[in-house]
Amino acid sequence: MTHIWVRAEQRPNEERVGLTPEGAAKLRAAGLRVTVEQSHVREIGIEGYRAAGCEIAPENSWPTAPHDAIIFGLKELPENGTPLIHRHIMFGHAFKGQPAGRVLLQRLKAGGGALYDLEYLVDEAGRRVAAFGYWAGYAGAALALKCWAAQARGGICGPVAKYPGKAALLADLAADLGDASRPQALVIGARGRVGTGAGDLCAAVGVAVTKWDTAETAHGGPFPEVLAHEIFLNCILARAGCPVFVPASARTEARALRVIGDIACDPTSDFSPIKVYDRTTDWAAPALRVATDPPLDVTAIDNLPSLLPREASEDYAAQLLPSLAALTDLDSGVWGRAKAEFDRHVATL
């Protein structure tokens, strides 16, 4: 019997989950064994999983799970260097040259484990089968506008926290923006899930958006239009061949640009299209000031959908459920392709 073990998230400010109680019930009906760890932070409570017939395990007990269990989480594991013996489903951030990703691959190789990276679960045409993109775009655009509002008041954006829903987020953002004239925003990747979410948030608060996609970026740059907008929202994943949208020289060039929302958020990748910063920001300090005359802030939080954990979890879990039901066959389909990607990268160690 295929055994999926839903672990508690151990990263701060992470309350999402990739399987709802309703989805767990469907997996059990399809013949899968489902274990769910208790969690003191998960947005969706444990009682729903218990009612669905799931086995309940102590929080963070996954290292002692049966060897054949498939450990399912979203964000990073604790970086304690221990070998990893299980097969893991998560966002590993390990295939684009990230230093921490290389360590993760070494731990998996040492323990004989494997990574089925959620970013690399794709169909036959190479399209991702599930993504948090819409809510990342929605929350990322909101955060960029909060940074702009704080900067307009002469400050820098302070700590942020989760919202009970998007209505609460919109109300908070409207209060921040007040009656001031709205900035002009440029969204690159506007036709994708992330860009759509960013565009919808901007429309909801009256921010005009210039929408770019592959046609507008195909020439490879430079892109002076980016510097001519007050807000730039990057919604394109960093991959080989991705052009540079914001060069390092933007710190000192003449520009209207005041805030960069790097929603794709992969600054340590060799392929990052934004060269004015080199580290992520976080909930305690969401804005990184990279220039002062005039100011330029970058916001780059890599778990943005957690600002709206319930909407994000329910949406993502619904997209992913058909693939989880196919875990009974790890050698083909989305899982076979993800394992081949892992094998290719671990072979370079």
DSSP code of 139?
Answer: H
DSSP 275-295: -S--S---SSS--EEEEETTE
The first and second tokens of residue 282, run together, are 């976080």
Question: What local confidence, expressed as pLDDT, does residue 126 receive?
Answer: 95
How is residue 217 written in tokens?
């970026």
Greatest C-alpha distance within the chain: 62
Pairwise CA distance, residues 2 & 68, whole Å:
8
Phi and psi at residue 198, in whole multiples of 5°?
Answer: -65, -45
- Was domain 3-120+309-346 assigned CATH 3.40.50.720? yes
- Mean pLDDT of all residues belonging to the chain: 96
Per-residue pLDDT, averaged over 81-109, amounts to 94
Q: Start-end ranges of CATH 3.40.50.720 in the chain?
A: 3-120+309-346, 133-307
**Cβ count near 98 (within 10 Å):** 17
**What pLDDT is attached to residue 238?**
79
Q: Give the confidence band of 333 by pLDDT, cuts at 50, 70, 90.
A: very high
- H-helix or E-strand spanning residue 136: helix 133-152
The structure's pTM equals 0.88
Q: Which residues are catalytic?
A: 75, 93
Are 90 and 72 in contact, with CB atoms under 8 Å apart? yes
Give the fold, CATH level 3, of 133-307: Rossmann fold (3.40.50)
pLDDT band at 266 (very low <50, low <70, confident <90, very high): confident
